[in-house]
Structure 1
Amino acid sequence: MYHSWNIRRFLRYTAFDLALILAALLLTHAGKQHFAAVDSTGGVTLPILMYHSVTDMPETDYCISPETFRQDLQYLHEHGYKTVSAAELIAYTEGNGSMPSKPIMLTFDDGFYNNMSIALPILEEYDMCAVISIVGVFTDVYAPDAPHNDVYSYLTWDDLRQLQESEHIELGSHTYDMHSNDQRKGCAKLEWESEETYHSILYGDVSLLQSRFQEELQMQPMIFAYPYGFISKESKPVLKECGFRITLTCLEKPNFITRDPSCLYGLSRYNRPGNCSTEQYMSRAISESNR
C-alpha cells in the first residue's frame, strides 16, 4: 500500500511538472506571436522600405504601379509583417511599449500627390501606415500651380491637412529647397564650407520647412529624410536642433533598433524600384535584414 501511494504521488508530481512545462511553452509561443524577438539590450531588427511615386505609368527606379504596391502590401500581410510609425519607434527607444513580432516601416519621399490619391487607399485596405516626407518648395511653389494629376503633381498644404487627419500617414521633412543632385549634393557638407557656414545653410533651409509646417498644420515633423541619401556627420547636430528624432538615409542595409533613442539617427532604407517582382524586392530588403 505504501509502495502504491508513492507511485501515485510520483505520477501526480510528474503530471504537475509536465503541466508547468506545457504552460511555459504556450506562453513563449504566444509571446513570439505578438512581440518582437529581442536580445538582452531590447534590440529588434527593422527593415525600412523606400517608395516614391505610385501611378499608372511605365515603371522606373522611382515609380511603381498601383498593382505592384498592392502586391507588396499583400506580401507583407501574408508574411505577418506589421507597419510601425515614427511615433511608435520613438516611444520604443524611450522604453515605452513593444514592437510587433515582425516590424516594418514604409516611407515615401518627395511628396507626390499620388501618395494620397493612389497609395493611401491601398494602405487603408491593408490597415498599414507610412511616412510621407515632402520637399517644401515643391509644396509651396510647384503644387499650387499644377492640377491634381496622379502622374506629376505634388501635395498641397490642403492635401497635407487631409493627410494629417489620417491614422495611416505621418508627415516628414525632405528639406525645403535642398533636394538637388548637382553641386550642392542634397544637404551634405561641401569641402569648401566651414562648419559654421554649413550649419547656417542647413539650419536655414530645414528650419524654414519646420516653420511652414507650424504655420500651415500647427505641427512639426519628427522625422527627416536626406535628399538623395547625401549625408555628413555635421548634419546630425543641426537636425537635432531642429527637433528631429529620426533621420532616414538611402543606404541599403539592415537597422537594429534598441532602447537607446540615438539609434534612430541614420536609419537605412531599401529603395523600391519598378520592373522588379515583389518576391525579388522583398527577398533582398527583408532577407538581408533578418540575417
Structure 2
Amino acid sequence: MHCFRLSLLKKPLLVLLSFSIFALGFPFSALAATDDGKNSAAVLCYHHIVPDEEAAVTKSEATISVSEFEEQMRYLYDHGYYTASLTDIENFLYFNKQLPERTVLITFDDGYESNYTYAYPILRKYGLHAVIFLIGGAIETPSSGTASIPKLSLDEIKEMSESGFIEFGSHTFNAHYLLDKKSAFVEMSLGEITKDFEDMKGFFDKAGAPKVLSIAYPYGQYDDKIVTSAVVEGYKLGFTVTSGFIYQDSSPMTLNRIIVPPGIGLDKFKTLINDTSEALPEYYNGSIVLCIDSVTAYLGKQPVPLDAAPTYADGKLVAPLNFFKDVLKWDILWDNNTNKVARRITTREDVWFLLPTYLSRGQVMVPVRELAEKMGHQVIWHQNDKTVEIK
C-alpha cells in the first residue's frame, strides 16, 4: 500500500461497539470469519464491565474486566480500526457506500451503568464510537434488591449522547426476559409488540436522545411479526447474536454480531475480528495519511472515510477536494465553471492561486503536492515508505 503523510491539523472522533448478553456455549472457532475480499464490518457485542478483581471471581460469560476491555480498544486504535456509527452501517447496507477496510461497530446490550463508569472513559481516551442498546423499562423503573446490576441514569445517557462518542438503540422497553427458555418478545402478540415499540419511543423522548432507529433483539431471538413491526415503526437496523460479519448484501433487520467473551486474550480477539494486520507505524502519530486506492485516510491513528480513494491523474497524486476543504478545514474554494480550486483570501498575506481539478469516480479531486505547497506547507517525499510528508 502506498501512503502519503501530512502534518496533523485536526483529530476527529471515530469508533463503534456492540454488547449482547446471550453468550451461551458458542464454540470459539465458529466466531472467526473468513477473508473473502468483500467489504465487511465486524459488530462486536459486549454487556457488563467490572474491575479486574471482580472479574476474577465472576462466572458470567457476559462480563469482562476493565483491563481486558481497554486492551481490546487499544488494539483497535493502534491498528487503525474505524468504529462505525449506525448511520455508517445504514449507508453501507441501503446505499452501497463503502466502509473503511478495517471497520467495527462496537455495541453494548442492556444499558448497564458500567458502560458509563468504565467503558465510556476508555472509548473517549482512544476516540472510539459505540452504541448502547437500552432496556427502557429497566432504566425508567429500576429493580430493587442487591441482585440487580445498576442501569444507566437518564443524566448519564444524556451526557454520553451529547459527547458524540455514544449513540443509543433499543433492547425493547419491557420484553427482555425468558418464558420457558424463549424470549418474551417472541411470545408477545402483535398488539403487545406494537405497545412495546410505542413505550420505547416515549422513553427515548423522555431521555432526550435522538430518534431510535435500531434494535438489538433480546437474546438474539426474533420472528416475522417482530421484524415487520420494527420496520413499520421506522427502524432501519436489527441485530441478532448470530455469529459472523455483516456485508452489503446482509439483511439489515437480521444482522450478525460477534460476542466477545471474557478471558480470551489478544490472539483470540484478533481471530474474532479476523485481523492479521500490523500496528500502524509510529509516524501516524501527529500526521495525516492518505493511501492510494484506499477509501481510508488517517488523522493521527484516527481513520476517516473518503468519498473516493486517492489515485493518479496526469501523473499527479490526487485526492478528494472535500477531504481538504471539509475535514482539514483548509481555506480553499472550488469553481465548477472553470474546474479550478483557489485559496480563499482572508488576509493581505494570503497568496492567490488556481489549480486544476479532476473528476474521478464522481468526485472532484485535487493534486495533493501542489495544493499543499500552495497552502504554504513543505513537502518531503519518503521514497522507502512511498510516503510524502507535508509540514
TM-score norm. by structure 2 comes to: 0.56
Matched, 1:176 2:167: no
Per the alignment, residue 53 of structure 1 pairs with 48
Structure 1, unaligned runs of 5 or more:
1-24, 31-42, 191-196
- Mapped to 2, the partners of 1:228 and 1:88 lie a distance apart of 25
Per the alignment, residue 162 of structure 2 pairs with 165
- Mapped to 2, the partners of 1:276 and 1:206 lie a distance apart of 36
Instruction: String of CA shifts for 1:168-202, please: whole Å, max 9, x gaps.
Output: 10111000111012238225534xxxxxx722111
Cα displacement (A) at 1:94 = 4.3
Matched, 1:242 2:239: no
Cα displacement (A) at 1:287 = 5.6
Per the alignment, residue 230 of structure 1 pairs with 221
- Mapped to 1, the partners of 2:145 and 2:117 lie a distance apart of 15
Greater helix fraction, Structure 1 or Structure 2: 1
Per the alignment, residue 111 of structure 2 pairs with 111
SS at match of 1:165: helix
Report if aligned partners of 1:146, 1:153 keep a CA contact under 8 Å in 2.
Answer: no
- Mapped to 2, the partners of 1:131 and 1:119 lie a distance apart of 11
- Mapped to 1, the partners of 2:202 and 2:221 lie a distance apart of 23
Within a 5 Å distance, the mapping from 1:1-291 to structure 2 comes to 44-56=39-51, 57-58=54-55, 59=58, 60-95=60-95, 98-142=98-142, 152-183=149-180, 185-190=182-187, 198-217=189-208, 219-258=210-249, 263-286=251-274
Structure 2, unaligned runs of 5 or more:
5-37, 277-391
AA aligned opposite 2:167: E
Moved more, 277-286 or 106-115: 277-286
Greater strand fraction, Structure 1 or Structure 2: 2
AA aligned opposite 2:261: P
Q: CA RMSD in A?
A: 2.7
SS at match of 1:263: coil
Report if aligned partners of 1:174, 1:224 keep a CA contact under 8 Å in 2.
Answer: yes
Report if aligned partners of 2:161, 2:209 keep a CA contact under 8 Å in 1.
Answer: no
Report if aligned partners of 1:176, 1:209 keep a CA contact under 8 Å in 2.
Answer: yes
Cα displacement (A) at 1:267 = 0.8
Report if aligned partners of 1:132, 1:170 keep a CA contact under 8 Å in 2.
Answer: yes
Per the alignment, residue 38 of structure 1 pairs with none
SS at match of 1:237: helix
Report if aligned partners of 2:134, 2:170 keep a CA contact under 8 Å in 1.
Answer: yes
- Mapped to 1, the partners of 2:155 and 2:97 lie a distance apart of 33
> Structure 1 pair 141/105, CA: closer, same or farther in 2 (3 Å)?
same
- Mapped to 2, the partners of 1:229 and 1:95 lie a distance apart of 26
- Mapped to 1, the partners of 2:145 and 2:121 lie a distance apart of 22
- Mapped to 2, the partners of 1:117 and 1:189 lie a distance apart of 32
Cα displacement (A) at 1:122 = 0.4
AA aligned opposite 1:87: T
Percent identity over the alignment?
Answer: 23
